[in-house]
Amino acid sequence: MKRKGLTGLLFMVVFALLVLSGCSSRPTLNIYSWADNFDEQVLKDFENKYNVKINYDVYANNEDLLAKIKAGGSGYDLIQPSDYMVETMIKQNLLEPLDKNNIPNFANIADTFKNPSYDPGNKFSIAYTSGVTGIAYNKKYVKDKIDSWDDLWNPSYKGKVLLLDDNREVIGMALKKLGYSNSSTDEGQINQAVGELKKLLPSVLAFDTDNIKQKMIQEEGWIGTVWSGDAAYIAAENPDIEYVVPKEGATIFSDNYAIPKGAANKELAEKFINYMLDPKVSAKNYESIGYSDPNTKAMEFHSEKYRNNHMINLTQDELSRTEWLSDVGNTLQLYDRLWTELKSGRE
């Protein structure tokens, strides 16, 4: 009796799953990406052009993405990991090699984003958008010339400094300020960098990644470490905001297209990547989402306003001062520990 009930229940669950998952006969491209990462019309155009359906799920950080893909059976065909996560996923054998024959528009990508250190030869990934963690500041309150990370330590901004809530970004920034690599694995250098950050702590208003934009727009913070794309967004809302890539150099990051191992619709995903790299589609998409466009052929289709925005289109000179974060292996535990020390104000 008992067993019968249970079997019945299981049967119903399986039946419901089958019914719910088999709704559409059109092929479905399952995308797993950041929220609001595409222009909706561009996605709809793709659906109509190829008679397919796009299913778009979102994650909030790379670690959620990793956990889901690692668990297997996620059913996603296209994901958008950041640079260091591409490296981690390659090491863990979680990505499919891309077939470039299906992506001829790869040629449109700017040279800066070809052959990146985290994926030599673009075997597994293609850049979708990128930016640099620089300094954003509010000209109303910050009157000095800002061109160095040292400026964050200026006592006039005490209590008004914002930092990203991310140990690699912030410790990497302090390492850069001292002239080291942002991905140092040298214990002495890392300790020295965190020592500098401990001196900065009394000036820090808050650590924040997701809502740092609001804090700058509302003028709660006057100066802080901000991603260039976010800076462009903030400046559009509050014209007093300026942004610089400090002279000591800074961290560059990217979000990428990649295909998880065993994806059911690999070819469709490649078709999608190629479509997105079409110059006109590309212009339409990035114009709408406001991030920087790595597509060189798309520039002529972009509006003047977009092309003249120096926070979206960083100069070669600025880009030449940047460095990718790379996987630091077991040293990550040291970063984590020192970060905890820093934030809890303990030794």
Partner 1 sequence: MKKLRLIHLPVMIWLILFLIIPILIVIGISFLQRDELGNLVYSFSLESYATFFDPLYLGIYMDTIWLSVVTTIICLLLSYPLAYYIANASPKIQTWGIILVTVPFWINFLIRTYAWVLLLRTQGTVNNLLIALGWIHEPIQMLYTKGAVLLGMVYTFVPFMVLPIYVAIEQMDRRLLDAASDLGATKWRAFLHITLPQTKSGIMTGCVLVYVSTTGMFVVTDILGGAKSAMLSNIIQSQFLGSRNWPFGAALSIIFVVTSLVLIFLFNRAMQSRYLAAREGK
* Per CB under 8 A, 85 contacts partner 1: no
| Residues 185-214, mask of contacts with partner 1 (x by CB under 8 A) | -------------------xxxxx--x---
Q: How far is the CB of 334 from partner 1 (least distance, A)?
A: 10
* Per CB under 8 A, 337 contacts partner 1: yes
Q: Are strands 125-138 and 223-227 parallel, antiparallel or unpaired?
A: antiparallel
In angstroms, the CA 226 to CA 220 distance is 14
Identify the helix (H) or strand (E) that includes residue 168: helix 167-177
Q: Report how many residues bind partner 1 under the rule CB under 8 A.
A: 34
In angstroms, the CA 231 to CA 313 distance is 12
220/240 with CB nearer partner 1: 220
Stretch that binds partner 1, among 21-29, 58-66, 140-148, 256-264 (CB under 8 A): 58-66
Identify the burial level of 21 via C-beta atoms within 10 angstroms of its C-beta, where 0-12 means exposed, 13-18 middle and 19 or more buried.
exposed
Q: How far is the CB of 209 from partner 1 (least distance, A)?
A: 9
* Per CB under 8 A, 166 contacts partner 1: yes
User: Which regions of 139-176 does DSSP assign to beta strands (E)?
Assistant: 161-163
Q: How far is the CB of 340 from partner 1 (least distance, A)?
A: 6
DSSP 222-233: SEEEEEHHHHHH
Q: How far is the CB of 49 from partner 1 (least distance, A)?
A: 37
* Per CB under 8 A, 340 contacts partner 1: yes
Stretch that binds partner 1, among 19-27, 43-51, 88-96, 184-192 (CB under 8 A): 88-96
End-to-end, the C-alpha distance of the chain in Å comes to: 63
Residues with Cβ within 8 Å of 5's Cβ and at least 6 positions away in sequence, in order, are: none
DSSP 254: E
Residues with Cβ within 8 Å of 44's Cβ and at least 6 positions away in sequence, in order, are: none
- What is the 3-class SS of 21-33, one letter each residue? HCCCCCCEEEEEE
* Per CB under 8 A, 343 contacts partner 1: yes
Identify the helix (H) or strand (E) that includes residue 6: helix 2-21
Q: How far is the CB of 303 from partner 1 (least distance, A)?
A: 32
Structure-token pair, residue 11? 């049967």
In angstroms, the CA 310 to CA 331 distance is 35
| Residues 91-130, mask of contacts with partner 1 (x by CB under 8 A) | xx--------------------------------------
* Per CB under 8 A, 57 contacts partner 1: no
Residues with Cβ within 8 Å of 17's Cβ and at least 6 positions away in sequence, in order, are: none
* Per CB under 8 A, 237 contacts partner 1: no
25/344 with CB nearer partner 1: 344
Q: Of these, 28, 33, 105, 167, which contacts partner 1 (CB under 8 A)? A: 167
Which residues, numbered 212-231, are part of the site for partner 1 (CB under 8 A)?
A: 218-220
* Residues forming the site for partner 1 (CB under 8 A): 2, 61, 63-64, 67, 88, 91-92, 159, 165-167, 204-208, 211, 218-220, 329-330, 332-333, 336-337, 340-341, 343-347
